[in-house]
């Protein structure tokens, strides 16, 4: 019996689903993003006082940011907030009889 919901592709005698490839791609992108955040925070901690002043940051701001964990991604939090707001707007328009 053949399950049409799983698209298996032979690869060196093995099969894999397209979802596995997509999942690995997402995991790789997330690891790269975490590496970038860690690198940026280390670089921020190394900046001198003059450069921090030019950026409008204090040494305390730089230390606070550089001590954040690598998985604490401000862009992911902002994106999640935007997605929640969009979802609320769609639900609100549905309740009012408007379609989005």
Taking only the tens place, the pLDDT of each residue in 33-91 is: 999 999 999 999 999 999 999 999 999 999 999 999 999 998 887 777 655 555 555 55
**Domain limits of the chain?**
14-68, 72-100
CA angle, residues 21, 69, 23, in degrees to nearest 5: 5
Q: What is the pTM of this model?
A: 0.59
């Amino acid at each position: 019996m053949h399950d049409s919901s799983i698209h298996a592709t032979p690869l060196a005698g093995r099969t894999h689903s397209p979802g596995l490839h997509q999942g690995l791609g997402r995991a790789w992108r997330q690891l790269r993003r975490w590496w970038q955040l860690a690198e940026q925070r280390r670089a921020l901690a190394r900046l001198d006082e003059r450069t921090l002043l030019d950026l409008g940051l204090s040494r305390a701001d730089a230390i606070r940011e550089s001590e954040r964990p690598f998985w604490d991604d401000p862009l992911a939090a902002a994106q999640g907030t935007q997605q929640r707001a969009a979802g609320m707007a769609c639900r609100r328009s549905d309740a009012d009889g408007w379609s989005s």
